[in-house]
Structure 1
Amino acid sequence: MTDLGPAARARDRRVVVLGSTGSIGTQTLDVLERYPDVATLTGLAVSGSRPELVARQVLAHRPEVVAVSDPEHAEAVAAAIRTALAPEHREAPALRVGEEAVVELAGSLGPGDVVVNAVTGSIGLAPTLAVLASGARLALANKESLVAGGALVTRAAAPGQFLPVDSEHTAIAQALAGVRPDQVARLVVTASGGPFRGRTRAELGDVTPEQALAHPTWQMGRVITTNSATLVNKALEVIEACWLFGLPEDRVDVVVHPQSIVHSMATLVDGSTIAQASPPDMRHAIGWALAHPEKLPGLARPLDFTRPATWTFEPVDEGTFGAIALARAAHRRGGGAMAAYNAANEEAVDAFFAGRLTFWGIVDLIGCVLEDPALPHADPAGGLAAILAVEEHARRRARELVAAGEGA
C-alpha cells in the first residue's frame, strides 16, 4: 500500500458506491482496494444483473448494505452473496430492494463522507439529490443528473459539495484551480471522435451495434459507448460543463483529439490555454474525486515525455454528427428540454440494440421528440416531479415514433 501521508489519511470517511458493477464502479472499488486509507466502503448499490460480481465485491470489501434496484434480481444476488461468504462463515450485509432503497442508501451518509454516483441514465438524478440533501460529498459520474436536472442539482448543492468523475470535467476543474471565474474566456472539451471519426453519414448507414461498441480508446458500458459513437456523450458533456463551471453553451467548445491524452482545456482572457494531460485512465478522475484535495501517489502511469509522440486536434464534423448542436439548442431552450433529449436518447439506444432503429435514427429520433409541440415545459418550481413528467412524455413519444418506423 502506498503511504498517503497524514493529510490524506481519512479512515473515518465512509463511502457508498452506486452502480458498483459498471465500469466506473468497478474501477472505484479498485482504487479503494489499493488505497484503503482513503475511505471505508459501507454500501453498494447495483441493478443486480451481475450477481456473481456483486458477491465478489462483497467478499472483497465487506459493505454493511447492498441495495438492489431491480427486485427481479434480488434473490439471485442474495444467493450469490451467501455462497461467497459461506466458507468464511461471515454474516451477509443487509440487503435492500427497489429503486427507493438506492435513494435511501445514497442519502444515508453525512458531512465528511463520499457517495460515488456511477449509475447510468437519468435514474441517477433522485440519488444525486438525496446525497446533496444529506450533506455528504457527491462524486458524480452520472452526467445525466446535471443534464436532466442541472438547476435542481446546482440549487441543492453547497459550494464544493459535488465533484465530477469524468475525465473531461476533472481536467477542467484542475486547469481552473486558482483561476477566478472572470478570468475564464472559454472551455474546450476534447473528444476521441469515437469509432466512426472521419466517416460521412452516407458511409454509416448500416452500422451494427457491435461496430458502435468498438470504441478506439475507452472501455465503457453499452449506453455510454454508443453515445460516444453518436457523439451524444460529448453533447451531454458540453451541457454538464455549463452547469459545473457556470458558462453559457456558446463558450464551451468541442475539439476532436483522437489520442485522448489532453482531456480538456481552459482558455483564459489573456489568451493562454491550460490543459490537463494524462494517459486515458479513469482512475485519475476517480481518485481525484475520492481524495480531493489530495493526490493519490502512483495512482496511474504518467506520460513519458522521453518518447516521441504526436497529439492532433481537429474540429467536429457537425454536418455528420449533429448531436452536439441539437443539445446546445435544447439547453438554450430550457424548460426541461435537455431532460427530454436525454430520455429520448436512452429509448433510442434501446431501440437500436433491439434492431428497431438505425444508427443514425438515434439522433434523428431525439430531434423529432424535441419538436413535439405537446412536450411539457418543466417549471423549475416543480422540482423533480416536473423533470420526471417531461422525461415520461419524451420516452412515450420516442416509443411511438419508433413503432411508427421513424429512423428505421
Structure 2
Amino acid sequence: MQLSETKLLIVDDDVDVLSAAKLLLKRHLKQVDIEKNPEKIPFLLNNGEYDCILLDMNFTRDVSSGREGFQWLDRILDHSPKMTVIMVTAYGDVEMAVRAIKAGATDFVLKPWENDKLLATLKKALSGKSTDGEMVETVAAKASKNNLVAQSESMRYVLDTAERVAPTDANVLILGDNGTGKTQLAKYIHDLSQRSQKPFVCVDLGALSENLFESELFGHVKGAFTDARDDRPGRFEEAQGGTIFLDEIGNLPLALQSKLLTVIQERQVTRVGSNRPVTVDVRLLCATNRDIDKMVSQNEFRQDLLYRINTIELELPPLRERPDDIAPLAEYYLKEFRKKYNRPVTSISTPLLKKMQLYDWPGNIRELQHAIERAVILSQEKILQPDDMFLKNVSPDAASATAYDLEDMEKTMILKALKRFNGNITDTARELGLSRAALYRRLEKYGL
C-alpha cells in the first residue's frame, strides 16, 4: 500500500507527540487521526477504517511497564487480526518493543523519532516488509549500552559514526574523560560488528604492572616463571575471532608500547617462555582519557603505534557539554535502581532536572549514575526532588538566575537558527540537536 492511500490512527497520551506526528504525517498520508485516550480505541475501530495504528507502549495509568500497550495490542489484533500496528516506545524500553513484535506488532519506533526513519518504518510496515529484522539487533544493542543516550547532536554524531565503522575491521581509538562511557562505546561497536558472536575481551592497561603485561596479554607456558603451573593463553588469544579492547592505552610505558606494536603489525603473539608464535585474528579497539597527540609530541607515546590504533578516532563529549542527554540518562538509571532496590520512586521532578542540567558533572555519567542510585535509596517520596540530590556547586539562587539566563540564550539560539534556515522546522531542529516535537514546544513556550 502507498503512503498516500493510508489511513492512520495514532494513540498516545502525550499531546505534544500527537501534534508533532500529525503535523509531519498529514502531508504524506490520506488520513491521520489522533487520540490521547486508549479507552476509545474500540469505538474508533468500530466506527472507522484504518490501515495502520501507531500505538504508544505506556500510558499515564501505567507509565513504565508497557502492560497497557500489550493489552491494547491484543485487543486491536482480536478485533482486526491483520491490522498493521507499530509500537512507539522510549529509548530504554526497546526490549519490550521486541517482545511486542513477537506478540503480533509489525514494527516499532523510538521516541523521539527521526522523521525520515518514522516514514521509512511506516512505508515498510505497510508494504508487508517489517524493519524489525534489520533494526532489532542494532537498537537492542543501543539499549543494552545504557549510557549511550544520543539526544544531543554531539552524541548522535558519535553513535552515527560508530554505526558506520562497526561493520568494518578498522581499528578505533576512543577518547574521552573518565566516566564518559568509553567501554560501553567499545562494546557497542563490537555488538554491531561482524564479530559480534565472538568474544569481546576488555583489558585495563592502567591496572597492569610491567611484570604482568606480557603474561596477561600474550599468555605463558608451564614453568615460564614461578607459579606458572600450567599453560595459559593471553587476552589476545582469548579474543580470537572477536574484539580486544585495550582501555587506558595512554598509560602504557614506552618499553611496552614497542611490544604491543609488534603484535599488532605481525598479528602474532608468543607466550612467555615459548618461542612458538601463535597467529591471532582480532579487531583492535583502544581508549584513553589522556591527550595522546600531546604525548606523541613529548615523546611519551610512539607515533607509529598511534598510527596503528587510530584508523578511526571517536571522542566522547563530557556530560556537561550534552545537557540534552541528562534527563534520559537520569530516567534510565531511575528505572534501573527502582527495580534493583524495590523502591517506590516513579519520576524526577522538573526542578531537580533543571538543577541537574546546571551542574557540571565532573565525574560525568558515572557520577550521575551514583547520584541517582543514592537518591533512589534515600528518598521517601515517589518523585525525586532537588533536596534528594546533593550537587555541591549549585546553589538555589544561582540555579534560578542561571536558568533565567539559559532561557534567554536558548530563545536567542532558536531565533538565529530559524532565520538561518528561513523558518524550516526540520533543518532548525537538526541544527539545534532537538526533535521536531521538542522544537515546537520551545516555540510555543517562547511565543515564537
Q: Same fold (TM over 0.5)?
A: no
Identify the structure with the greater helix proportion: 2
> TM-score, structure 1 length as denominator?
0.36
> TM-score, structure 2 length as denominator?
0.34
- Mark the structure with the bigger radius of gyration: 2
